[in-house]
Structure formats: structure tokens, C-alpha cells
Amino acid sequence: MRTYLLRRILQIIPVMFGITILIFFIVHAAPGDPTTKMMDPKMTVEEKIRLKEKFGVDKPVIVQYADWITEVMKGNLGFSWKFQRPVAQVMGERMLSTFYLAIVSLLLALLVGIPAGVISATRQYTGLDYFFTIFALIGISIPSFFFALLLIKFFAIDQGIFPISGMRTPGASDWAVWEQVKDVSVHTVLPAIVLGLGSTASFMRYTRSSMLEVIRQDYIRTARSKGLSERVVIYKHALRNALIPIITLLGFWIPGLFSGALIVEQVFAWPGMGLLGYQAVTDRDYPLLMGVNLFLAFLTLIGNLLADLFYGLADPRIKYD
């Protein structure tokens, strides 16, 4: 296990290096550069040249990449041109907010999607099965921004149950700790539901499909013939084997929650990585944009590694020698 884990971690290094090349050159392939929005039409040619020199965009792209990757290897992601602060510092301030929202959404998806998929599979062609299937189709099909606007209109504007946007109420930092926790929790409900809807629907569909395949296997019939209760057969024997494809989906869905948070955070003005990435694109803040994409790429690799490790927990036959 230790050897396998070390080998996989070492494999991440060249993959990340290749990703840095793709991210850098794709970002710099966009027309114009960050100084385009800063230039005054009345500026002289000399002033425009000095502005480009200030941000280092006057150098060849290869030289710019060499300078950037050298700093990245030192642990320095660069300096944000918009925020005038180190990229790592700007991302660090937003990262916890997105982690919190993603974890809540993922827990919501797992706690609702997997049990719903099991119920749908064990009660195939019943009313519950049709209900969950329709729910899954709606969850996958409805655009997240449209669903978010519907929730805002009904629960925030019409009913006034939840706040419209933000992560906390202005001035809440002076409240008691319990009041602050309650305030953040109330602000989290609508964004978490929107972000977790697609995940819930996907987990439900994959769980149903996997369970239908597993419960027809011979060992399930053997377990039933031994007199085991249906609950033990389904949740101890069948579900454990049905979790293999779910684990694969989970490994890819963890970074997907962060990238999908871009739209959700924009609609709800949630101060996280998604909103930060959107601002980096609109402002052509190259260092910040590359830092955000590098973080998402690293999260994808870590998600795949965790999925491989979880396989062994779900299926004892899988050994890491």
C-alpha cells in the first residue's frame, strides 16, 4: 500500500508539469493581454511599452513561461495584477469558502442520491422508482443558474426564508459565535441545494444502475437462501459491491464541484474560488487565472488518487502490492 501510494504521488509530478504547459499557453493564446484594459487611448507608444514591461508581457511567451514555472517550483504562484497581492494569498482567502460549500453539497448528494438509488433499484417499476427517475432527469437537465434563480425568487424574495446572496450578513462578525454559525448555515442552504442537485441526480442514477446489476448476481441469491434479512443482503452485501462505479464517479466529481461552483457562486455572490476564477477571466489577470486552474488540476489528480484508494475499502479483493 505504501509503495503504491508513493508511486502514484511521484506520477503526479510529471503530469502536473504537463498541465502547467497547457494552462500557460492556452491562457496566453487568448487575444490581447492584461494591459489592453489598462491602456488609455491617449497614451503614447513609449507609455504603452513601459506598461507592458511593467507586467512582463513584452517578453516572448517561452521566456514568460520559464519565469513563471521557476517561481511556481519555489512555491510562488505569482502576483495578482487586479488585487495587487500574491496569488496564493488571494486564493487562500477564498479557498475555505468553496471547500465548505463543496463539502456540504457533496454530503447532501451522497446522503440523498445513494439511498434514493438503492430504493429505486430494489423497488423497480414502482411509483417510487418512477418518482426518483423523473427527479434524476430533472436534476441533470435543469441549468444550475435557472434553478438558482427559481429558488431565489420563491424562498428569498417571495417567502423571505433565506437570504438572497452572500455567505454572511454584513456586520455578523460582531455577533456571538452561535449566531455567526447560524447565519452562515442559513446562507449556505440555497447555494448548496443548487450545487448538489446535479450530483444528487447523478449518484442516484449510477447507484440504481449498479444495484440492478449486482442484485441479480448469484452470491446475492445465495445470501438470501441462507436466510439473511433483506436489509443485510442489500446494504451489507449488494451495496458494497455496487459502490465501485460510485467511487469512480466521486473521484471525478470532487473537482467538478469546484469548477461547477463558478456559476453558483456568481449567482449567489458567494466569496469563493468560482467567483474568483470568473473575476480573473474578465480582468485578464493571468497569474490569478493560472493559479486557479492549477489548483483545479491538482484537485482532479488528488480525486483520482483517493478513488483508487477507496476501491480497496469497498472491495477487499483489490490489493495494492
pLDDT in tens, 248-286: 777 777 777 776 677 888 889 888 888 888 888 888 888
Residues 145 and 243 occupy one common structural domain: yes
Residue 262 Cα distances to 124, 144, 145, 271, angstroms: 36, 10, 10, 10
d(CA 149, CA 172): 25
Convert the pLDDT of each residue in 21-76 to its tens digit.
Answer: 988 888 877 776 667 666 667 777 777 778 777 777 778 888 888 888 888 888 88
d(CA 298, CA 9): 11
Asked if residue 100 lies in contact with residue 93, where contact means CB atoms within 8 angstroms, the answer is: no
Asked if residue 108 lies in contact with residue 59, where contact means CB atoms within 8 angstroms, the answer is: no
Q: Name the residue type at position 110.
A: L
Q: Look at residue 319 and tell me if it is in a domain.
A: no
pLDDT of residue 216: 86
Domain boundary among 68, 85, 102: 85
Mean pLDDT of 84-106: 88
Residues 113 and 28 occupy one common structural domain: no
Listed residue (47, 51, 15) closest to 34, CA to CA: 51
Residues 31 and 78 occupy one common structural domain: yes
With a threshold of 0.85, does the pTM exceed it? Answer: no
d(CA 252, CA 299): 9
d(CA 68, CA 290): 10
d(CA 114, CA 127): 18
d(CA 319, CA 321): 6
When comparing pLDDT for 30 and 1, which is higher?
Answer: 30
pLDDT of residue 318: 63
d(CA 249, CA 232): 25
Cell numbers describing residue 187: 446562507
Q: How many domains is the chain built from?
A: 2
Residues 192 and 78 occupy one common structural domain: no
Strands (E), the chain: 79-80, 85-86
Per-residue confidence band for 227, with pLDDT thresholds at 50, 70 and 90: confident
Residues 6+ apart with CB under 8 A from 232: 223
Convert the pLDDT of each residue in 115-146 to its tens digit.
Answer: 999 999 999 889 999 999 998 889 888 888 89
d(CA 54, CA 36): 13
Query: What region does 299 belong to: left with phi over 0, alpha with psi -120 to 50, or beta?
Result: alpha
Convert the pLDDT of each residue in 155-174 to its tens digit.
Answer: 999 988 999 888 888 877 77
Asked if residue 67 lies in contact with residue 58, where contact means CB atoms within 8 angstroms, the answer is: no
* Residue 321 pLDDT exceeds 60: no
**Which of the 8 DSSP states describes residue 157?**
I
Count of beta carbons in the 10 Å neighbourhood of residue 199:
25
Domain boundary among 70, 85, 100: 85
Backbone angles phi, psi at 177, to 5 degrees: -60, -45
Residues 210 and 249 occupy one common structural domain: yes
Lowest mean pLDDT among 98-112, 142-156, 223-237, 305-319: 305-319
Listed residue (191, 298, 219) closest to 254, CA to CA: 298
Q: Look at residue 321 and tell me if it is in a domain.
A: no
Asked if residue 284 lies in contact with residue 38, where contact means CB atoms within 8 angstroms, the answer is: no
pLDDT of residue 116: 93
Task: Report the share of the chain in percent with pLDDT over 70.
Answer: 93
Residues 296 and 246 occupy one common structural domain: yes
Q: Residue 23 is part of which domain span?
A: 2-85
Cβ-based burial of 28 (10 A; exposed 0-12, middle 13-18, buried ≥19): middle
Asked if residue 51 lies in contact with residue 39, where contact means CB atoms within 8 angstroms, the answer is: yes
Cα torsion through 146, 148, 152, 154, rounded to 10: 70
CATH of residue 122: 1.10.3720.10
d(CA 82, CA 90): 10
* Residue 1 pLDDT exceeds 80: no
Residues 266 and 192 occupy one common structural domain: yes
d(CA 95, CA 273): 6
